[in-house]
């Protein structure tokens, strides 16, 4: 009683100290979903940065199981500059657009039975500033970088937790795909060194991170696209050997004077420029003229005018591509009734974009590599889960495998098949770091977090989520049951790569 009083006072003081001027709303229903939402959704803004000039928008969904005991996950969507709403409806959240029944009016939702919110409290954050509904009150406030994003994320968590004290003691994970997978370990390190070890409050119960097809060192990650294209038979042995022997390992920024290398890359480009990088087996969107600079595909993906996409996708000649589904988010998000439901501040965002295409231009990627971050974190006893789709050419899994191996962790269990319903679903290997285990899984035929293209292929990105769920689940048995129920329905072969230190989970 006494302790909790002090605790409360401390929080109160902290709240005053930090000037927690955040705004939050409980959203009971959403346009496009009939009736009350069957989960607890909160949206809101938290001000961060110098002089509170940055207003970060978030969606928070409570665990549908046990909000008190389940972990708290901060989800960072990649891009750079793709909205957290993407995470909510296309990746890990409880709602999916009902693309099949879309008839030109307001898109409607169906529930995602594999939502991470089944077992975790999830905050989806529009980060960096300029993403989704996040905005700055000064033009200075829009200047952003890896370092600034990381600091903003930390300050966001600090203020958010003070405002939601009941979640301060929940186990905390930072998660993200693609570019979000680069920022996640930076945030974990900031929480550890900049926050907890420096004695800042509130002390955060950080347990680890989850990253999918993660960026680690973008120029290096992208260089792996050439060996990857060879591995997946997109280019011939001869083309690959040509590039390998002449380009000195530099395929993205080759020396313009090196004509032999330039020629080899030209041959490779011819073979790969019409491949869908997000999933090499998916149809490429015809309306998207590839914006290629040599072999340097952009890490970000832009949707062109949604109206173009809708027109094209109604044309039988053009197979639906993943961007067709993305269009529904533009239609839904830019509807005034939706803005009202989400309590978006008027006048702060003229148009919502799923990915802010102009943001990466001014964003300073001031931390080239996060290898050292991973290395330091691997000595701190955190759980780390890396999962990758092997059909993702944006950030090929072979590059990820390489840097994981370069961490020099002790191999505990070598590459072996991983079975699901008696079928090989992927491959696994396991590392030991200090007293903690790192397990790697590789799966086939999948991209880490991309949307459903057709109803039949709907499950193709769900299985890894279930794995992630089992990762963050402290009750392994319960999760295994959940896992087998949901995966029984899944017919697809799916790829993933994952490493984890499970020791802590078992003990807790
Ligand atoms: C914060 O406010 C002070 C005083 O008004 C100003 O000098 C400073 O430039 C501001 N900093 C930022 C980052 O806006
Ligand atoms: C589209 O479907 C919705 C129900 O999802 C219905 O209310 C609406 O009338 C339909 N509009 C058209 C133009 O068919
Ligand atoms: C390419 O050749 C030109 C002219 O010889 C030279 O000025 C330039 O520095 C060279 N570029 C590189 C990257 O070596
Ligand atoms: C995109 O980000 C920039 C800052 O880099 C911001 O000025 C702009 O308003 C953002 N656009 C959208 C549509 O959110
Ligand atoms: C891993 O081991 C190699 C070979 O011993 C060494 O060169 C490298 O620096 C080590 N890397 C790390 C991250 O310790």
Q: Looking at 161-175, 280-294, 428-442, which range is the least confident one?
A: 428-442
**pLDDT for residue 421 is more than 80:** no
Q: Is the pLDDT of residue 279 over 90?
A: no
Q: Which residues pair with 436 in a beta bridge?
A: 433
**DSSP state letters, 199-246:** T-SSPP-EEEEEEES--SBHHHHHHTHHHHHHHTTSS-HHHHHHHHHH
Give the closest residue to 239 by CA, choosing from 276, 220, 274, 266. Answer: 266
Q: Please tell me the distance between residue 13's alpha carbon and the centre of ligand 1 in angstroms.
A: 25
Q: Check residue 48 and report its DSSP letter.
A: E
Q: What is the mean pLDDT of residues 148-171?
A: 96
413 SS3 class: strand
Ligand nearest to the CA of 379: 5
User: SS3 of 405, please?
Assistant: helix
pLDDT at residue 480 is higher than 80 = no
pLDDT attached to residue 10: 52
Kindly list the distances between the CA atom of residue 364 and the CA atoms of 32, 50, 58, 143, 190, in Å, as whole numbers in the listed order: 38, 18, 23, 8, 18
Residues 6+ apart with CB under 8 A from 41: 26, 27, 30, 59, 60, 61
Mapped to the 3 state alphabet, what secondary structure does 415-431 carry?
EEEEEECCEEEEEEEEE
Burial of 197 from C-beta contacts in 10 A (0-12 / 13-18 / 19+): exposed
How far apart CA 16 and CA 79 sit, in angstroms, is: 35
Determine whether the shortest distance from the Cβ of 343 to ligand 5 is under 6 A: no
pLDDT tens digits along 72-97: 999 999 889 999 999 899 888 899 99
Give nearest CA residue, ligand 1 atom 6: 51
From atom 2 of ligand 2, which residue's Cα is the shortest distance away?
103
Is a pLDDT exceeding 70 seen at residue 46?
yes
273 lines ligand 1 (CB under 6 A): no
d(CA 409, CA 395): 22
Mean pLDDT, the chain, rounded, equals 77
Q: Which ligand is nearest to the CA of 256?
A: 3
Query: Do 106 and 331 form a contact (C-beta atoms < 8 A)?
Result: yes
Q: Which of 250, 254, 257 to mutate to test the pocket of ligand 3 (most atoms within 8 A of CB)?
A: 257
CA count, 13 A, side-chain hemisphere, 132: 30
What is the rounded average pLDDT of the residues 184-188? 97
Give the residue, 491 or 294, on which the prediction is more confident: 294
Q: Look up tokens 């041959």; give the residue.
A: 267
Strand-pair category, 41-48 with 23-27: antiparallel
pLDDT at residue 287 is higher than 60 = no
The tokens of 309 are what? Answer: 């996409």
**CB count, 10 Å around CB of 234?**
18
Mutate to test the pocket of ligand 2, among 105, 106, 314, 337 (most ligand atoms within 8 A of CB): 105
Query: Which pLDDT value is given to residue 217?
Result: 96
Instruction: Report the distance separating Cα 18 and Cα 158, nearest Å.
Output: 9
* End-to-end Cα spacing for the chain: 25
Say if CB 32 and CB 103 are below 8 A apart.
no
Mean pLDDT of 113-131: 91
Confidence check: pLDDT of 436 > 90: no
pLDDT at 369 > cutoff 90: yes
Q: Which residue has the higher pLDDT, 330 or 168?
A: 168
Nearest CA to ligand 4 atom 5: 359
* 130 CB within 6 A, ligand 4: yes
Rank 187-201, 207-221, 355-369, 448-462 by mean pLDDT and report only the highest: 187-201
Tokens standing for residue 23: 């705004």
Query: What sections of 232-353 are H helices per DSSP?
Result: 237-246, 259-272, 306-313, 322-333, 336-342
Q: What are φ and ψ of residue 483, in 5° steps?
A: -55, -50
What percent helix, strand, coil does the chain show, rounded to 5? 40, 20, 45
Distance CA 196, CA 395 (A): 32
* 205 touches 383 (CB < 8 A): no
Residue ID of nearest Cα to ligand 3 atom 9: 257
- Structural domain spans, the chain: 21-218+367-502, 219-328+358-362
Beta bridge partners of 424: 419
CATH code given to domain 21-218+367-502: 3.40.50.1820
> Is the pLDDT assigned to residue 99 strictly greater than 90?
no
Output the CA 192–ligand 1 centroid distance in Å.
28
Give the closest ligand to the alpha carbon of residue 105: 2
């Amino acid at each position: 009683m006494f302790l909790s009083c002090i605790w409360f006072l401390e929080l109160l003081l902290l709240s005053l100290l930090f000037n927690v001027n955040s705004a939050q709303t409980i959203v009971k229903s959403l346009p496009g979903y009939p009736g009350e939402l069957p989960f607890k959704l909160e949206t809101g803004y938290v001000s961060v940065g110098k002089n509170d000039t940055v207003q970060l928008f978030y969606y928070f969904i409570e665990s549908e199981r046990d909000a008190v005991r389940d972990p708290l996950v901060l989800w960072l969507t990649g891009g750079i500059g793709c909205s957290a709403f993407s995470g909510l409806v296309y990746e890990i959240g409880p709602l999916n657009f009902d693309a099949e029944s879309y008839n030109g009016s307001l898109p409607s939702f169906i529930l995602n039975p594999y939502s991470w919110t089944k077992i975790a409290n999830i905050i989806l954050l529009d980060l960096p500033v300029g993403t989704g509904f996040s905005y700055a009150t000064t033009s200075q406030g829009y200047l952003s970088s890896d370092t600034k994003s990381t600091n903003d994320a930390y300050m966001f968590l600090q203020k958010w937790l003070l405002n939601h004290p009941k979640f301060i003691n929940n186990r905390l994970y930072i998660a993200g795909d693609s570019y979000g997978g680069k920022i996640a370990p930076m945030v974990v390190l900031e929480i550890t060194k900049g926050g907890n070890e420096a004695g800042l409050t509130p002390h955060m119960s950080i347990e680890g991170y989850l990253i999918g097809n993660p960026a680690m060192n973008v120029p290096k990650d992208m260089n792996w696209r050439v060996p990857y294209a060879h591995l997946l038979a997109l280019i011939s042995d001869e083309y690959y050997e040509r590039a390998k022997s002449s380009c000195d390992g530099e395929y993205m920024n080759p020396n313009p004077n090196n004509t032999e290398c330039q020629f080899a890359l030209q041959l490779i480009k011819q073979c790969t420029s019409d491949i869908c990088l997000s999933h090499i087996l998916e149809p490429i969107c015809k309306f998207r003229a590839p914006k290629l600079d040599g072999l340097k595909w952009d890490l970000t993906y832009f949707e062109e005018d949604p109206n173009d996409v809708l027109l094209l996708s109604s044309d039988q000649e053009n197979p639906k591509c993943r961007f067709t589904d993305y269009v529904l988010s533009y239609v839904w998000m830019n509807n005034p009734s939706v803005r009202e439901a989400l309590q978006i501040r008027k006048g702060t965002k003229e148009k919502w974009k799923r990915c802010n295409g102009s943001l990466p231009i001014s964003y300073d990627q001031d931390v080239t590599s996060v290898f050292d971050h991973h290395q330091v974190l691997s000595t701190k006893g955190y759980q780390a889960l890396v999962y990758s789709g092997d059909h993702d050419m944006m950030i090929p899994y072979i590059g990820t495998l390489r840097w994981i191996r370069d961490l020099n962790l002790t191999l505990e269990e070598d590459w072996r098949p991983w079975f699901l319903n008696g079928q090989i679903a992927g491959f696994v290997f396991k590392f030991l770091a200090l007293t903690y285990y790192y397990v790697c899984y590789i799966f086939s035929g999948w991209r880490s977090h991309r949307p459903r293209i057709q109803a039949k292929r709907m499950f193709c990105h769900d299985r890894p989520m279930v794995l992630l769920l089992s990762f963050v689940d402290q009750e392994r048995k319960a999760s295994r049951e959940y896992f087998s129920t949901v995966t029984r329905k899944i017919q697809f072969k799916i790829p993933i790569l994952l490493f984890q230190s499970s020791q802590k989970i078992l003990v807790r």
